[in-house]
């Protein structure tokens, strides 16, 4: 019988508490001290000896600090005698820097992987990595868990509750990078999928050029992993409406929501927005949040 204890330092406290409650196990306590010179000391206060530790920590919001904090926490848990450590990184920071795009750029996602691998853990997981190649940067691969089931259930209920005919529903992939996620949701719902062609003229700006398929009279569900500034999704929504879509929904794994993202989405007339709790931040009440705790429990 596993003897679990769940930890989260700062980024996923609500998710960790929900998981601990669902498992009927202890929510671990952590101590953090910042010294006069800026150095930090992070350690587990709870007794972890011979326990199976679960650490949940997204690398979001000053990513370099978040990384160092959970690296110290992992070392503390390991040295204190934990029997095993499962590390969950719901949102993997630097995941959009997985290749060299311009001259002299680093592959930051790979650098981060090498840093994480110096820590003590038995298994490592993330959700909907921006690019699947990131898992290959690890000598013991990071396991990339899909969130598709959460969105299939959510949109399945919307379709049923609103008596929407499935032939009038289409899942939209806003670019080729989101294609597999959109495929999974479309297959789960039993509806068609359409992919948009996109060119990005500069960072954080996107322009959609073409729509491959017919959306006239359709309810469109955009499925994406990361929503940051909202430019890509707002552009997609406007394109869909211009081609006769009756409603546009958005389902996204990671709600980065930088700057005026939500305002852009509302101005683009997106009817419904749902995200996961991979990133815990204050969101407008209209944004629905699906918890990853069910998916984590399936894994452990």
β-pairing, 40-44 vs 52-56, is unpaired
Q: CA-to-CA distance for 78 and 72, rounded, in angstroms?
A: 10
Dihedral over Cα of 184, 185, 191, 192: its sign: negative
Q: CA-to-CA distance for 29 and 36, rounded, in angstroms?
A: 23
**Residue 9 CA: distances (Å) to CA of 70, 172, 186:** 7, 36, 36
| Set 51, 198, 218, 264: catalytic member | 198
- Look up 13 and say whether it is catalytic: no
Alpha helix segments (H runs only) across 142-251: 148-161, 179-189, 231-242
**Residue 266 CA: distances (Å) to CA of 176, 207, 249:** 24, 18, 11
Give the CA dihedral 198, 199, 202, 203, nearest 10 degrees. 30
Buried b (16+ CB within 10 A) or exposed e, 56-84: bbbbbeebeebbebbbbbbbbbbebebeb
- Could you identify the residue written with the tokens 């032939």? 167
Q: CA-to-CA distance for 123 and 140, rounded, in angstroms?
A: 8
Q: CA-to-CA distance for 185 and 201, rounded, in angstroms?
A: 29
CA 203 to chain centroid: 20
Catalytic sites, residue numbers? 198
């Amino acid at each position: 019988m596993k003897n679990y204890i769940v930890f989260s330092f700062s980024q996923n406290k609500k998710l960790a508490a929900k998981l601990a409650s669902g498992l009927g196990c202890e929510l671990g306590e952590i101590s953090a001290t910042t010294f006069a010179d800026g150095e930090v000391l992070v350690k587990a206060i709870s007794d972890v000896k011979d326990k199976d530790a679960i650490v949940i920590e997204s690398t979001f919001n000053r990513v370099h600090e978040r990384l160092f904090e959970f690296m110290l926490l992992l070392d503390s848990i390991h040295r204190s005698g934990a029997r095993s450590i499962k590390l969950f990184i719901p949102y993997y920071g630097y995941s959009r820097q997985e290749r060299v795009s311009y001259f002299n750029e680093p592959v930051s996602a790979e650098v981060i992987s090498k840093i994480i691998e110096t820590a003590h853990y038995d298994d490592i997981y993330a959700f909907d990595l921006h690019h699947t190649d990131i898992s290959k940067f690890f000598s013991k691969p990071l396991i990339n868990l899909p969130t598709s089931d959460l969105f299939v259930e959510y949109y399945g209920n919307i379709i049923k509750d609103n008596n929407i005919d499935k032939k009038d529903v289409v899942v939209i992939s806003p670019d080729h990078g989101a294609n597999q996620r959109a495929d999974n949701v479309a297959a789960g719902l039993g509806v068609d999928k359409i992919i948009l062609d996109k060119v990005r003229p500069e960072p954080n700006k996107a322009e959609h050029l073409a729509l491959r398929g017919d959306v006239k009279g359709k309810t469109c569900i955009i499925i994406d992993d990361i929503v940051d500034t909202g430019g890509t999704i707002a552009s997609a929504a406007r394109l869909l409406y211009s081609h006769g879509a009756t409603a546009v929904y958005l389902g996204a794994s990671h709600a980065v929501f930088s700057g005026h993202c939500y305002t852009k989405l509302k101005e683009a007339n997106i009817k419904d927005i749902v995200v996961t709790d991979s990133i815990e931040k204050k969101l407008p009440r209209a944004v629905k949040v699906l918890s990853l705790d069910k998916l984590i429990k399936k894994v452990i």
